[in-house]
Amino acid sequence: MSDRGPGLVLILLGVGLVVVGLLMWSGWLSWLGRLPGDIRWETGRTRVYIPVVSMIVVSIILSVLAWIFRQR
């Protein structure tokens, strides 16, 4: 890997985070945290969210993307 490699990776990660943030802000990812199997517990002033299934989906997507980029 050249000297520019780590910098390029950080830039791409930053752009990816901005894109995901914009998608969440615009409502395209409104399903995240509301899938069947995600735990939501609300009583009075207390709210607890444990997005179990959402994080499994995110993990699978990231694993597939990492596998695809490793194949190159």
pLDDT interval class at 2 (50, 70, 90):
low
Q: Work out how many domains the chain is built from and give that number.
A: 2
> Which distant-in-sequence residues (6+ apart) come within 8 Å of 29 by Cβ?
20, 23
Q: Are residues 71 and 46 in the same domain?
A: yes
pLDDT interval class at 44 (50, 70, 90):
very high
Q: Are residues 24 and 42 in the same domain?
A: no
Which DSSP helix (H) or strand (E) runs through 60? helix 52-71
Q: Are residues 43 and 63 in the same domain?
A: yes
Over 60: is that where the pLDDT of 1 sits? no
The per-residue pLDDT of the chain, averaged, comes to 86
Q: Which residues pair with 39 in a beta bridge?
A: 50
CB 18 within 8 A of CB 36: no
Q: Which domain holds residue 23?
A: 1-30
Q: Are residues 26 and 39 in the same domain?
A: no
What would the two tokens of residue 61 be?
Answer: 């997507």
Q: Are residues 24 and 56 in the same domain?
A: no
SS3 content of the chain, % helix, strand, coil (to 5): 60, 15, 30
Q: Are residues 15 and 44 in the same domain?
A: no
Q: Are residues 22 and 45 in the same domain?
A: no
Taking the model in full, what pTM does it have?
Answer: 0.66
Position 14 scores a pLDDT of 92
